[in-house]
Amino acid sequence: MALRQQQELKQSQRLSPLQMQVIKLVELNTVEVEDRIKQEVEDNPALDTLDADMSNDTENEEDERIDKDLSQEEIILGDYFSEDDIPDYHINQTHQKSEPGFIEISYYDDKSLSDSLIEQIRLLNLDERKQTIAEYIIGNLDDSGYLQRDLQSISDDLLFQQQLEILPLQLEDVLYEIQELDPAGVGARDLQECLLLQLERYDQSPAVLLAKEILTNFFEEFSRKHYDKIIRQMNITEDDLRDAIGEITSLNPKPGNALGGTLQTAMNNITPDFIVDSYNGQVTIQLNNSNIPHLKVNRSFSEMLKGYNDNRETMSADDKQTMLFMKQKVDSAKWFIDAVRQRQNTLQRTMEAIVNIQYDFFLTEDESQLKPMILKDVAGRTGFDISTISRVSNSKYVQTNTGVYPLKYFFSEAMQTNEGEDISSREVKMILKESIENESPTKPLTDDQLTRILNTKGYVIARRTVAKYREQLSIPVSRLRKKI
């Protein structure tokens, strides 16, 4: 086929650097934005921070004059340099993914689990070989303190990585040393072993001895709550079983969670992105910007760029490259400042729309006052795209007079009563949760019974929907809720 040349006209959309900055910043929460700003200030010499308390009229007027001069320079430089002349300087940008929206608050220590275990193992005065093996095993423990890998795999790794030929039985001897460390239950290979390790440190009362026997010989029946079978085969009374279950339920199934590193610490400390206050029938909204610094273009850097521009006629090739570099940094700084400003505006308008829709809830903080609300409802009030509202609502938190809520907490599907009234699915979940909390422990309610209860209260709902809501509330099926 012969080559030929032709012209083609087409239209395409491209995101500007400012738009890309805004998209990335909107996804981040307050803590991540603080880190992002610190990183940008370190990477870009043209970007500087300004303390609001130290600003004065003279400095503000000077900054306005410099901004005006820079705007004029952009016109001059745009004519002086072609697009092909601009070198490919890359500006480092860190984009952190948000963490999951629901956070489990638990006790934690600043010291990580592995650090704590290594400190303890060094006090046992093991020989160098066993010390190396113990530290390697500790490094393979997961966040909950379990050893999920089999000993044969660890033996192979030690042979290939550290040229140590260790039999699995020898590894097990070292593992037993680790299982004697604190917290109790650490180093277990499954839940059954974890619970038994903890019971070994209890006073061996009749209830503890019975609990150990149940976990050793009837663990599957116990996990499935087949209590009648356990009572019959062990020939014990319900009171005996109840005492043994009390000992077992007092144990910690995830002993490693008692200690956590910096990531666990950060996860457990929630910094709200919004502060909503209700007082005397009025609701006020405030962005939590206390730790976000004010940004400006560095004055010295700007004046240097202006000096280069004034002498551009006599510039050498090196000066030209320097001027191009400085222009790019100044442009990047201005884009970043505008992006932070637009992020704040986007968050403010989105939160205002949410508060307007859920005004009764923020006034009373009564969960039953929550109205059905989806992303489309907020997008319609703000004029933003649905994807923008989704980014804003992800991993953001709201502090109210009574607590801290994930922003996603206020979104729920709409349902109808038998009278045709729209209600929030959260209201149905609340009634579902209350019904389960008030059920008989020995005869928990099935999904069919829960469906009938909701239908008698006027909620048109199917059994599969009840099962879905129950799972969303992390409530097990009726068989697993049964108690003695």
The SS3 call for residue 404 is strand
Whether 107 maps to a domain, the answer reads no
What CATH number should be reported for the domain holding residue 484?
1.10.10.60
Residue 304 has pLDDT above 80, yes or no: no
Residues 242 and 285 occupy one common structural domain: no
Residue 174 and residue 223 share a domain: yes
* pLDDT, tens digit, 9 for 90 and up, residues 87-130: 333 323 333 333 333 333 333 345 688 888 999 998 888 898 89
Last residue of a domain, one of 232, 258, 284: 258
Same domain, 56 and 79: yes
Say if 93 falls within a structural domain. no
Number of independent structural domains in the chain: 3
Q: For the residues 363-386, what does the mean pLDDT come to?
A: 88
In a domain, 3, yes or no: no
- Against a cut of 0.85, is the pTM above it? no
Burial annotation 53-71 (CB, 10 A radius, 16+ → b, else e): eeeeeeeeeebeebeeebe
Q: Is 91 left (phi over 0), alpha (psi -120 to 50) or beta?
A: beta
CA nearest to 272, candidates 404, 97, 100: 404
The reply to whether 101 falls in a domain is no
- State how far the Cα of 469 lies from the Cα of 458, in Å rounded to an integer: 17
Q: Is residue 108 domain-resident? A: no
Q: Using one digit for the tens of pLDDT, what is the confidence trace for 144-170?
A: 899 999 999 999 988 888 888 889 999
Do the beta carbons of residue 367 and residue 426 sit within 8 Å? Answer: yes
> How far apart (Å, rounded) are the C-alpha atoms in residues 19 and 403?
34
Question: 394 lies in which domain range?
Answer: 16-85+270-411
Q: Does residue 222 belong to any structural domain of this protein?
A: yes
3-class DSSP assignment, residue 296: strand
b/e map 412-439, b = 16+ CB within 10 Å: beebeeeeeeebbbbbbbebbeeebeeb
Q: CA-CA distances (angstroms) from residue 411 to 104, 380, 394, 425, 471?
A: 20, 15, 11, 9, 18
Q: Report pLDDT digits (tens) over 219-237.
A: 999 988 888 899 999 999 9
Tell me, what DSSP letter sits at residue 445? Answer: P
